[in-house]
Amino acid sequence: MIKDFIVQNWTLILVLFAFAISLKMTVFLDKRTIRRMLVMILAVFLLSVAVFAEFRLADSGTHQKVRLVLMAIRYSSTPFILAMVIFTLVKRFRWFIFIPAMAMAAVNIVSIFNGVVFALDASNELVRGPLGYFPYVMAGFYCVFVIYILYARSNKTAAEIVPILFFCFTFLSDLILPFVIGREFSQFFCATISIALFVYYVFSILQLTKKDALTGALNRQAYYADVADEPEEITALVSLDMNGLKVINDSQGHAAGDEALTVLAVCFTRALGRKQSLYRVGGDEFVIVCRRVTHLEVSQLVERIERNVAETKYSCSIGYSYSLDGAKSIDTLLKESDNMMYAEKARYHKANEIEPPKRK
């Protein structure tokens, strides 16, 4: 039996093992996130054991009560795993994200005795009860919620949308293919979940290498790589520089300075529109790259940034450069936007009677 389990689930075992090793070696995730992901890995492995045992009992036609318990575990597992994905990725969600999954598990447990979700007839065949499709609806609800959260947290770029679509496709296949293929899909059910989780994790780590750890904006390396990619599509650059960061660092400490940068980065990110990406290219310097946008869209972007920053206790200087047909080089755009930004910073220093620092 163990041999048959290993043969049937060898791909799953390898993927989960590789997933666990990569989690132990990564430096991009905090320990709590790693622990939660390891719990997910364990949950998927235990689910594979339960699924294998359930269909073994189905083939033998024995131990109906045990099979019903295993069916309750299988129907309850997918919502729990998806809830764990949300719990792991979004720290603001607490235990209450598991409440719908817990309710579904309670209904499945009750179904062992009254068949409200599933039952077995005299010939040991599955019979769906009045709530027979409810586990799939619940899993679908969690799947849509996960996709929404992942999309909302993304930069809306193809590099982040593609893995989200892959994640969506694999989980939806787990919900739909059992009705198309039948019980044979059970051999791939857990492997599909594990591959979806692992592939999304790999994509996430790749994205983290492009992001600034403090602010969440794309980093300097990502900026150089992205402006070199189809530069003719870049029609505007926006330069942003925080005012007074050195004063905050000197008087309140670097933790306060980091908080200020984080707050401003949120303001900038909230202001972004389509085809606009934010990069942190220096200590208090940010650049927004705009592709195929109009002059009006750039002006509206600057206005949104100014409104957002005005709601905080911080300030920043802004400059931009626009190229109608994308004919200006990146160096020219950056020089023009920096010049406008530094002119605004000079006015800020003069108005506040601050000695300007040496130009970077």
Check pLDDT > 70 for residue 138: yes
End-to-end, the C-alpha distance of the chain in Å comes to 69
User: What DSSP state is assigned to residue 154?
Assistant: S
Contact 238, 288 (CB under 8 A): yes
Tokens of residue 219, six digits: 């980093």
Tokens of residue 6, six digits: 């290993």
Nearest residue to 139 (alpha-carbon basis) of 182, 166, 101: 101
What secondary structure does DSSP assign to 315-360, as a single string? Answer: -EEEEEEE-TTS-S-HHHHHHHHHHHHHHHHHHHHHHTT-PPPPP-
With tokens 């990406």, the residue in question is: 277
> What whole-number distance in Å separates Cα of residue 218 and Cα of residue 305?
17
For residue 246, the SS3 value is helix
- Equal fold, 2-208 vs 220-351: no
Tokens of residue 144, six digits: 């849509």
**156 backbone φψ class: left, alpha, beta (φ>0; ψ -120 to 50):** left
> What whole-number distance in Å separates Cα of residue 105 and Cα of residue 100?
9
pLDDT category of residue 318 using cuts at 50, 70 and 90 = very high
- Residue 357 CB-density burial (10 A; 0-12 exposed, 13-18 middle, 19+ buried): exposed
For residue 256, the SS3 value is helix
With tokens 């040991």, the residue in question is: 124
pLDDT at site 357: 59
Name the residue ranges covered by the structural domains of the chain.
Answer: 2-208, 220-351
Q: Any bridge partners for residue 237, and if so which?
A: 289, 321
Let me know if domain 2-208 sits in CATH 3.10.590: no
Annotation: CATH topology of 220-351: Alpha-Beta Plaits (3.30.70)
Q: What is the pLDDT of residues 20-68, one digit of tens each?
A: 998 888 877 778 888 888 998 999 999 899 888 888 888 787 788 888 9
pLDDT at site 180: 81
For the chain, the average pLDDT equals 86
Tokens of residue 285, six digits: 């310097």
pLDDT at site 353: 67
> What whole-number distance in Å separates Cα of residue 68 and Cα of residue 111?
8
The pLDDT of 155-184, averaged and rounded, is 78
